[in-house]
Structure 1
Amino acid sequence: MDLPQQRRAKQTWGVRVAWLALALLAALYCGWRFAGPAPLETNLLALLPATEADPVAEKAVDTLASALGDRTVLLVTSRDDAHAKAAAKQLGAALQKSGAFGSVTAELPPFDLSQIAALYLPYRFGLLTPADRATLAPPNAQADPTALHDLLAQRLYSPLQGGLTTPLADDPFGWLQRWLGGLPLATSNLTVEDNLLVSHQGDGEKATTSVLLVATLPGSAYETKTQRAVHAALADAESALRQSFPDVTVARAGAVFYAQAARSASEREVHLIGIASLCGIALLMLWVFRSPRLLLLGFVSTALGIVCALAATLLIFGKLHLLTLVFGASLIGEAVDYSIQYFVVYLGAGRDWDARRGARTVRPALTVALATSLLGYAILMWVPFPALKQIACFAIAGIVTAFASVLWLLPALLTRAPKRSPRRVFAGAARLLAHWQRALAGQRAWLVAALLLLAAVPGWLRLTSDDDIHLLIQRDASLVAQEDKVRAAVGVDNSAQFFVVRGDTPEAVLQRAEALGAKLDALDALDGGADAVGGYQSVAQFVPSARRQSEDRALLAQHVFNDPAALRATLLQAGFKDEVADAWLAAYAKPQAPLTVDQWLAVPWSQPYRHLWLGAVGVNAQNPANAPNASNGANGANASGYAAVVIPQRVTLHNAPALIALAHDLPGVVFVDKAASVSKLFGEYRVDSGWWLGGALLVVAALLMLRYRVRGGLATTLPVVLAVGVALAVFGYAGVPLNLFNWLALMLVLGVGANYAVFLREGCLRAAADLGAVWTGVLLSAATTLLSFGMLAMSAMPALRSFGATLALGILVSVLLAPMGMPTATPARKPGARSSESRRAA
């Protein structure tokens, strides 16, 4: 072996070792990440963009999701009351014993309701219900002098009541007891029976008893380890329950179940899409190339792209979204395109094969194709949608790696000339191309384009859109049915729409929450009830503002304690002992600071309601004019302060506009509807994406005109432009509403579909190129891409289904029209011929 050959051999082995090191490094990093806590992101909210202009509203969404996400609810139902209760106890004991849950509450622990009254007792003279306030100082009227006597008599002689009661000596007129009765402690259909939370539904033979169990998770609902432990524990417990109580059913609700179902579905789709793509691509490549070696090398390049893409995505984002995982499996078809083009040059060279010259030959076509593909994916990076940013990052890293491996690794592995070449396949492809080019190329291309546009116009006029987020992220139907059953039994309808109330101080927040509460009460009082919310939960119901407490105390001072001697006489006449009356009067006379939120948060029983108080916040709020549902006063540069949430019990299509109007009318209040906000944002970006697509088309046309001159650039761009137009027309004729994902898929149709015309035109520019081999490579590339991206159209995720269907349709039209971009000087050039354009390019 001479010196140049030795140097070349060393360089070849150096390239192989470098790529092997890169592959090992990426694989080890991915293995290390998956060996620990699974990096797969199953939280559907994490897939969605930030939609609220006020970051505090986004914080509220996250806070509520966290508060409710780690809580799991089970509903045990039977027509036999005793069976339902016994089964609930058995299920609770089994789940607690399993260790899969942090805590399981079936039977309520002993709780002294007097603990709730004990918090408020020192502040009782500043706590009045609206009814008591109206009784003491009725609007537009004088206070009834006998009202106090009536209240006292009602308190003394009314029958004993359950629930929150106060000692007669501490609350002789019952003001505190009635105020405690208005606390939103049990805004549901549940009652306590035998220390169980029970709901009764139906009458007669259809009557059922449901018992509620509440469990908390030891970790995040989105951790794979937690999901598997919960799934196994429930499966075992329900199996034992069916043997003991065959008539009992169990419904479940909780983020952990949706996360586990989403993860399982994505894993199934990854396996389905990945295996189907691999098998289909392998069969196609074997049928065309008749070489297991080329098949293996093609998958080496593709595997490198996917492993490096996975490593880069995990390194940059830390987590891997479900959409990214499923999309990654479909990237196989696009990544293998570059190696296919290299193999076509390899087989076409025959005995004259030189690996480095082959790389130089294919480099221009692959470079132009890479540029157009990167443009399509780069646009996704600008969309403020975490999942799409990840998909773009994954795809860019994958195709860049595949591109580099074709130009540098494959020449180091494919050094020997091919033993045989599929000449019959290439000859057949050449004949097909010659016939197809005669029908499309030259002046006929513009005629075909005009006819396609005429046929497409009616379809465009029929186009509609639907940006509802619920159509894009589909939840497991079985889990939705079970959750609806739980909601019906509990009687709480809403947990997704709420108000965020902000202020510079806690006192300002409480005052604004009280104003909002008054407006919500007014909606409930309207005739007809269409706008009624059926109640709400607010921190101001637990802790009135200092101003409200002061006003209530002043009201008592004016109408009750204005004559202490007469008041004492009234109490003594009613039978109160002297020391009791004096102690009560002394308690009022003692100065008392108002009750604060911090004092309420400090008591253990407030834990289930602490998510209502967001506490101190400090953000750079944006201009409300740019914000959906933004209200006046909820913004400001470098704004800081405090915030709370108010949750209406029932939000419907009828009352939602009224609730949004309330937020606009009240300072510091924002109505948050995450689903509606995302849908609105999707609609805005769907409109914007049309402009992005137009701009991208101009950029691609300019890029191709730089390469092929003006006429050649326009001809090469024409197929993909028509592909976009035809795809839109098909959706219009089919009556399929468009969403953001359809338009983003058209971006990739532009980026990927333009490659086929580029590959053909570059084949015409190459000296001694076999156009039959080039057309074979184009068809094979399109087939592999269709196979992988087309599989997305079968995904259970509606977003990916829209994405895949649009991509498949656009790519199919792109490859069929690709011969439009061929130079007119080469209608059916034989191997070894050279066009005038190739001579000019040379």
Structure 2
Amino acid sequence: MERLQQRGARKTWAIRAAWLVLALAASCYCAWRFAGPSPLQTDLLALLPATEVDPVAEQAVNTLAASLGDRTVLLVTSHDAAHAKAAARQLGASLTTSGAFRSVTAELPPFDLSSIAALYLPYRFGLLTPTDRATLADPGVSLHDALAARLYNPLRSGLATPLADDPFGWLEHWLARLPLATSNLGIEDGLLVAHRGTATLVTGASTSVLVLATLPGSAYEAKTQRAVLDAVAHGTAVLRQTFPDVTVARTGAVFYAEAARSASEREVHLIGAVSVCGIALLMLWVFRSPRLLLFGFLSTALGVVCALAVTMLVFGKLHLLTLVFGASLIGEAVDYSIQYFVVYLGTRRNWDARRGARAVRPALGVALSTSLLGYAILAWVPFPALKQIACFAIVGICTAFASVLWLLPTLLTTAPKRSPRALFNAAARLLARWHAAIGGRRAGVVAALLLVAAAPGWMRLTSDDDIHLLIQRDPALVAQEREVREATGVDSTAQFFVVRGATPEAVLERAEMLGAKLDALHGPQGVDGWQSVTSFVPSAKQQADDRRLLAQRVFADPAKLGTLLDDAGFRDEVATTWLAAYTKSAGTALGIDNWLAAPWSRPFRHLWLGNVGEIDGRAGGYAALVMPRRVTTANEAALIAIASALPQVVFVDKAASVSRLFGAYRVDSGLWLAGALVLVLGLLMWRYTLRGGLATALPVMLAVGVTLSVFGYAGVPLNLFNWLALMLVLGVGANYAVFLREGAGRPDADLGAVWTGVLLSAATTLLSFGLLGLSAMPALRSFGGTLALGIAVSVLLAPIGMPASPRRIA
């Protein structure tokens, strides 16, 4: 006997030591990850799945986001132009000194505009504007008139060319069409300045100066965010002391990422703190034992820390959405320990910890299976954030389940000194009355009445698949971004065309075809211009066509051309040199590489994706972007039709693509839910026979129906996250009927204690998941609200699943 006791003691300590090692390993790994570069991910695009059919289009979305992600824009505005300019210089100097940015540009460095013309000069005989092309093609227009217009035109563009190099002004005309200044900004005193309002009304006019900065690292790194926020806060604070009349608006991915991170961290702290405090108070009130409270939170903490470790190990990063959801997982993870404590406190004989674990194991096993089913469906949905949430939840509840069955029996070895018998008796009487009202033979009537009441609500259901259900942007930052956009006249669009081809030349030719079709759109369907690499580098075919036109109309008779230039006053050597340059340029064409090598092309290089290589087994070739300036609901259909009519041209609208995917998965989720119901029903029938399984599944099935009906009556449109939450209502809500039915089948169980445990489990889950309904993120709000409503109905109807004549309810 003594030897058996010693062996049992060694086994107990071995189990404790194993759990201690697991806890230390998971905790150390989490501490190590958070001690280095932050594993928290705030990139909103990381939440979204790949939505584009063409993998190059998906790559274009990521490339464009990366190229714009490290840019930060600050707009310094005042009614006093001198104050605005001086304040911008001061802010630029302050940000430079802070070291938070890789570069800061307030005053523009000296730039020789002639360097732009120098790039194009050797290729000028293949560069004609559409207007000059049409003029030369018109036999009725003489070269004499074109030359006279060039010589006697008093208006010259900023990119003027010398008469000797460009007698007819064709290159100057072409340079004037370069989209170098597609904004309201002008250069004054070496600054980028925009004037708004009426100059005669002092109070109505304002001057805005742009300050540009680039980040030293990713906008989604917490270290970068803190440094940038501190530098901008300090710079603007000092600025207000010197220039009280100056305002500063800011925009950039770093500010949105920091706002999302801060908001999520606040929600994590709020949900975690309220959940822990609320659950602690509930458990203390029911169990009246700090020891049980400690053991319950020990089991939950093990689940959370292991879930954190495994999620970071599997995914490398931890998205803030997962962290917020993880804070709400506390309410579900603690359910397993609550059920064990109920058996512990409800025992009427000598307590045996392992026998208690064996008694509660079937109920917990069935409950775990139904919960895992719901989370497994989340893991299957191709949304990265949902896969993370599913991984976190599965690991967390499995760890909590295992700790209840194997760790808690080694800690809870002594019998309870007191039991809340009065509470259990009151719960038993309440359960008896409620079961008599809705259970047994009356269950069918209750179900029929609920279905009749719910049917009109189902008929009123609507849907909303907007991507903004997933992303909630800070209103203050949105207002500042709007101010910057209105001042500069530059609108950053997430809608564009991706043009592909086997060679760079093929891409340029297709982009020119696309540009011609966009120019043909007028009225509401017009796009107000577009940006493309072909604005800077025409295709070799277009250059050859232009050269051919010049050869026919201008250089066909060199002697006549020489006489024309001589009569216009050009020296003989100028005409001779120009004619020689034409002859020398034969067979040459401006290429992409020439343009990319020019330093001034940097702001526009995102338009050329270059060699995209092989993606997903498909030959990528080369690709470029064409970005229309204005995309609206009135012209989007026309843009999609244009892309469909051109080979290897795709119109990309990430927001619309995700919204369409939301809609498709929302529709599919109805089938997933139906399939999950069948699986849960089959599991319960296998456990409780055909009739018992149907009775046990009925409460959660009715809860799903009632929840949908409430949304219909309330006029709340459904989205994917409502349906995914219903999956978890099925997985979690089924547990309550399972707990009651298993309790009714245990010969030594006190059903009053079991019902108390069910109500406490539901209360803790409602407390945690219900707080998600207060989240600032619409997706979590939909998720939490649906879960709270569904779980509340599930627990109220749970007694339906009990046998018609339960063993003992007293």
| 1:573 equivalenced with 2:553 (yes/no) | no
Structure 2 residue ranges without an equivalent (≥5):
none
Q: Is contact 2:75-2:250 (8 Å) kept?
A: yes
Q: Is the 8 A contact 2:502 2:621 kept in 1?
A: yes
Residue matched to 1:387: 385
TM-aligned CA deviation for residue 519 of structure 1: 1.1
* Match 1:363 to one of 361, 364, 382: 361
Question: Which of 743, 746, 752 is the equivalent residue of 1:763?
Answer: 743
With normalisation by structure 1, the TM-score equals: 0.95
CA–CA distance in structure 2, aligned partners of residues 728 and 680 of structure 1? 22
Is the CA contact 1:350–1:418 (under 8 Å) kept in the aligned structure 2?
no
Aligned mates of 2:217, 2:352 — CA distance in 1:
58
Q: Which amino acid aligns with 2:571?
A: K
Aligned length: 806
Once residues 205 and 82 of structure 2 are traced to their aligned partners in structure 1, the CA distance between those partners, rounded to angstroms, is 13
Distance in structure 2 (CA, Å) of the matches to 1:393 and 1:685 = 20
How many angstroms apart in 1 are the aligned matches of 2:602 and 2:349? Answer: 79
Residue 351 of structure 1: CA displacement? 5.1
Code of the aligned partner of 1:479: L
The amino acid across from 1:537 in the alignment is Q
Any idea what the Cα deviations from partners look like across 1:489-537, whole Å, max 9, x if unmatched?
Answer: 11122421110001111111000000111111111xx2xx312211111
Deviation readout 1:782-823 (Å, 9 max, x if unpaired) = 000000000000000100000000000000000000000001
| Residues 106-505 of structure 1 mapped to structure 2, 5 A cutoff | 106-138=106-138, 143-144=139-140, 146=142, 148-203=143-198, 204-205=200-201, 206-350=204-348, 352-505=350-503
Quote the offset at 1:162 in angstroms: 3.9
Quick one: distance in 2 between partners of 1:827 and 1:548? 90
Is 1:65 the counterpart of 2:45? The answer is no
Q: Which residue of 1 aligns with 2:525?
A: 531
Letter in structure 2 aligned against 1:611: H
Q: 2: distance between equivalents of 1:549 and 1:719?
A: 74
Structure 2 distance, partners of 1:242, 1:494, is 29
Deviation at 1:739, TM superposition (A): 0.3
Q: Is contact 1:55-1:619 (8 Å) kept?
A: no
Deviations 1:718-777 (A, max 9, x none): 000000000000000000000000000000000000000000000011111100000000
Q: Which residue of 1 aligns with 2:672?
A: 692
Q: Per-residue CA shift, 1:548-571, capped at 9, x if unaligned?
A: 010000000011000011101111
Instruction: Return the offset for 1:594.
Output: 1.0
- Which of these residues, 523, 533, 548, is aligned with residue 554 of structure 1? 548
CA-CA distance at 1:152 after TM superposition: 1.2
Larger mean Cα displacement after TM superposition, 67-76 or 591-600: 591-600
Q: Distance in 1 between matches of 2:542 and 2:583?
A: 19
Q: Which residue of 2 aligns with 1:509?
A: 507
- The counterpart of 2:558, out of the listed 551, 559, 564, is 564
Q: Deviations over 1:464-484 (max 9, x none)?
A: 001011233110000000001
Query: Aligned partner of 1:735: which letter?
Result: G
| Residue in structure 2 matched with residue 82 of structure 1 by the alignment | 82
1:32 aligns with 2:26: no
Equivalent residue number for residue 681 of structure 1: 661
Q: Indicate conservation of the 8 Å contact 1:102/1:215, yes or no.
A: yes
Name the CA distance, whole Å, in 1 between partners of 2:162 and 2:422.
Answer: 100
1:598 is aligned to 2:593: yes
Q: What is the CA distance between 1:640 and its match in structure 2?
A: 2.5
Return the letter of the residue paired with 2:177.
G
2:14 partner SS? helix
Shift of 1:618: 3.1
**CA contact under 8 A between 1:600 and 1:606: conserved in structure 2?**
yes
Q: Secondary structure at the match of 1:189?
A: coil
Q: For the residues of structure 2 that align with 1:640 and 1:160, how far apart are their CA atoms? A: 46
Q: Is the 8 A contact 2:740 2:758 kept in 1?
A: yes
Matched to 1:482, the amino acid is Q
Consecutive unaligned residues in structure 1, runs of 5 or more: 622-636, 831-842
Match of 1:629 in 2: none
Contact 1:30 1:310 survives alignment (8 Å) = yes
In the TM superposition, residue 344 of structure 1 has moved relative to its aligned partner by 0.5
The Cα of 1:826 is off from its aligned counterpart by 1.1
Separation in structure 2 between the aligned mates of residue 730 and residue 243 of structure 1, nearest angstrom: 55
1:834 alignment counterpart: none
Q: Which shows bigger deviation, 638-647 or 255-264? A: 638-647
Q: How many angstroms apart in 2 are the aligned matches of 1:783 and 1:702?
A: 28
Shift of 1:160: 4.9
- Write out per-residue CA displacement over residues 202-258 of structure 1, whole angstroms, 9 at most, x where no aligned residue: 113211111111100000000000000000001111101111111111111100000
> How far apart in 2 are the matches of 1:79 and 1:367?
70
Residues 298, 336 of structure 1: 8 Å contact kept:
yes
Superposition deviation, residue 829 in structure 1: 3.4
How many Å separate the matches in 2 of 1:783 and 1:638?
Answer: 53
| Cα offset, 1:683, TM superposition | 0.3
Do 2:429 and 2:809's aligned partners in 1 also have CA atoms closer than 8 Å?
no
TM superposition shift of 1:827:
7.0
Out of 786, 789, 796, the residue aligned to residue 766 of structure 2 is 786
Q: Name the residue aligned to 1:624.
A: none
Equivalent position to 1:775, from 755, 761, 779:
755
Q: Deviations over 1:599-631 (max 9, x none)?
A: 11111111111111111123457xxxxxxxxxx
SS in 2 for 1:90: helix
CA distance in 1, matches of 2:595, 2:643: 26
Q: How far apart in 2 are the matches of 1:819 and 1:656? A: 54
Superposed displacement of residue 828, structure 1 = 4.6
Alignment partner, residue 631 of structure 1:
none
1:638 equivalenced with 2:618 (yes/no): yes
Shift in CA distance, 619/730, structure 1 to aligned 2, threshold 3 Å: farther
Which residue pairs with 1:750 in the alignment? 730
Query: Any idea what SS the aligned residue of 2:192 has?
Result: strand
Contact 2:770 2:784 in 1 (8 A): yes
Equivalence for 1:4: 4
CA distance, structure 2, for counterparts of residue 29 and residue 183 of structure 1: 55
Paired with 2:579 and 2:241, the residues of 1 have a C-alpha distance of: 63
**C-alpha separation in 2, matches of 1:505 and 1:817:** 66
C-alpha distance in 1 between matches for 2:787 and 2:412: 32
Instruction: Determine what percentage of the aligned residue pairs are the same residue.
Output: 75
Is the 1:434–1:827 contact (alpha carbons within 8 Å) kept by the matching residues of 2? no
Q: Deviations over 1:52-106 (max 9, x none)?
A: 0101011000011001010001111111111111111111111111111111111
782-791 vs 534-543, which moves further: 534-543
Distance in 1 separating the partners of 2:105 and 2:493: 21
RMSD over aligned Cα atoms: 1.1
Q: Give per-residue Cα distances to partners, 1:259-312, cap 9 Å, x unaligned.
A: 000000000000000000000000000000000000000000000000000001
| Matched letter for residue 600 of structure 1 | W
The ranges of structure 1 where at least 4 consecutive aligned residues each deviate by more than 4 angstroms after the TM superposition are: none
* TM-score when normalising by structure 2: 0.98
Measured against aligned partners, the alpha-carbon deviations of 1:328-385 in whole angstroms (never above 9, x if no partner) come to 0000000000000000011112551111111111100000000000000000111110
What's the counterpart of residue 632 of structure 1?
none
